[in-house]
Amino acid sequence: MIKPESPRLWVLIVLSALSVLPMNMFLPSLPGIAKDLAADFVLVNLAVAGYAVVTAVVHLVAGALSDRFGRKPVALTALSVFTLASVGCSLATDIGIFLLCRLFQGAVIALYSVCLATIRETSDDRTATSRIGYVSSAWAVAPMVGPTFGGLLDTFFGWRANFIAFAVLGAAGLCLAAFHLRETNMRRSGSIALQIRGYRDLGRSARFWAYALCMALSIGTLYTFLGGAPLVATQLLESSSVTLGFYMGMVPAGFILGSFVVGRFGSRYTPTGFILAGRILVCSGLLVGLALYVFGATHPLAFFGPCVCVGLGNGLTMPVANSRILSVRPDLAGTAVGLANALTVAGAGIVAFLSGLIVNASNAHLAVLSVMLVSSVLSLAVAMIVASLEKSERARGAEA
């Protein structure tokens, strides 16, 4: 079967970046929102936690809907809902309306599943890995620069400017998708019932579960770092929060570099090689961090330096794992990537919750490194299972 023509890579990169930008761009505005809408900060913070829950649900259903109705209709619908919700947030005069509109903004995360499924349908395995690597780089850049841009808007124009910017970006994305996002799903499923059975079929696939678990443990390692690093910083840093931001930014910068490597060389090497290399790199870096702690190193780089390997390793792992998830059932590409990302968010959240039970202000340095290492070793073990399953799959294909 001839593969459909792919949209230009820059279109997919822009839409993917837009899917994650709303997650944290407005964070500097939280105090202003609480003050202007006369709401408790805890309630306003639901704009973050509630949004995360909504995006997990959207991940779960958006991919399946794109298998049923097509990639482009789902993208256009998601962008329309996001744009209208952004306008609603900018005009809200009470916290209830604001939070409701904020939750509807979560529809935009559907673009991520659409972009990955589109790549899978228009590329062979190794080309898909490379293209997803580039998309993942942009997906990591957006949350890094978002809060800075949002902070500037809040400083000069007030908190509503962030949501006006979201509305403008949503409208621009809607035009981009309407005129430049080609429909690539030429084998749409016949009914929603088939999509429900698709979840069942994926649930029976050992390869699917292995990749999803590897991704969840990999992101769980990152979540442990994000939650524990500020506590470690209170032990190692006496400087401003700007310095902390710089050190913490080294990890997502590592992810961008790792994803770029996959984008640059993904078509040359085996997918499982990237995954194993990524997991070994993370484990090695964290072992170095623990060794430095044992020998009494107290410079911030003794902690944050080795943690860069978490970003690098995840950058090598996540694009490839997403690419291989899409190959488990090519006819259910959207369903597979949506379900996998929902499971990744849920699994990583469990890891972060468990780490919160262990890490405290007194043991943060040792505990954070230890919990991350345990999660990383488990992800390496799962990656080895993945390699074994892929080898068996290739052997069956050769026999056939």
At 338-387, the pLDDT tens digits run 888 888 888 888 888 888 888 887 888 899 999 999 999 999 999 999 88
pLDDT tens digit sequence for 101-130? 999 999 999 998 888 888 888 877 778 878
Confidence bin at 5 (pLDDT 50/70/90): low
Question: Is the residue at 239 inside a domain?
Answer: yes
Q: What is the DSSP string of 276-307?
A: HHHHHHHHHHHHHHHHHHHTT--SHHHHHHHH
Residue-level pLDDT at 1 = 46
Q: Is the Cβ–Cβ distance between 49 and 38 less than 8 Å?
A: no
* Whether residues 251 and 390 fall in one domain: yes
| Domain carrying residue 216 | 202-399
* Whether residues 218 and 131 fall in one domain: no
Least confident of 53-57, 149-153, 227-231, 262-266: 227-231
* Whether residues 101 and 242 fall in one domain: no
Q: What's the structural domain count of the chain?
A: 2
* Whether residues 124 and 260 fall in one domain: no
Cβ-in-10-Å burial (0-12, 13-18, 19+) of 321 comes to buried
Pick the residue with more confidence: 270 or 80?
A: 80
At residue 156, does pLDDT exceed 60?
yes
At residue 241, does pLDDT exceed 60?
no
Question: Is the residue at 157 inside a domain?
Answer: yes
Which residue among 182, 213, 246 closes a domain? 182
Question: Is the residue at 192 inside a domain?
Answer: no
* Whether residues 158 and 117 fall in one domain: yes
Question: Is the residue at 319 inside a domain?
Answer: yes
* Whether residues 272 and 361 fall in one domain: yes
Rg (CA), the chain: 21
Domain CATH for 351: 1.20.1250.20
Residue-level pLDDT at 61 = 85
* Whether residues 153 and 289 fall in one domain: no
pLDDT above 90 coverage of the chain, percent: 30
* Whether residues 119 and 56 fall in one domain: yes
At residue 13, does pLDDT exceed 50?
yes
pLDDT tens digit sequence for 261-281? 888 887 777 888 899 999 999
At residue 193, does pLDDT exceed 50?
yes
* Whether residues 175 and 210 fall in one domain: no
Name the most confidently modeled range: 23-37, 62-76, 101-115, 255-269: 101-115
* Whether residues 112 and 170 fall in one domain: yes
Which residue among 154, 182, 210 closes a domain? 182
Rounded to the nearest 5°, which phi and psi values hold at 112? Answer: -65, -50
Question: Is the residue at 196 inside a domain?
Answer: no
Nearest to 305 by CA among 319, 291, 317: 291
* Whether residues 311 and 370 fall in one domain: yes
Of all helices (H) and strands (E), which one includes residue 338? Answer: helix 333-358
Residue-level pLDDT at 205 = 87
Least confident of 166-170, 172-176, 275-279, 332-336: 332-336
Per-residue b or e along 337-358, where b marks 16 or more CB atoms closer than 10 Å to that residue's CB? bbbbbbbbbebbbebbeebeee
Which residue among 130, 147, 182 closes a domain? 182
Least confident of 150-154, 241-245, 338-342: 241-245
Region 311-325 average pLDDT: 90
Question: Is the residue at 194 inside a domain?
Answer: no
Q: Is the Cβ–Cβ distance between 26 and 191 less than 8 Å?
A: no
Residues 109, 264, 386, CA angle at the centre, nearest 5°?
A: 70
Contacts 24+ apart (CB under 8 A), 91-100: 91/160, 92/37, 93/37, 94/37, 95/37, 95/38, 95/39, 95/43, 95/44, 98/33, 98/37, 98/47, 99/43, 99/46, 99/47, 99/50
Task: Report the C-alpha gap between 268 and 249 in whole angstroms.
Answer: 30
* Whether residues 157 and 306 fall in one domain: no
Question: Is the residue at 188 inside a domain?
Answer: no
Region 305-313 average pLDDT: 92
Structure tokens at 226: 């994000």
Question: Is the residue at 238 inside a domain?
Answer: yes
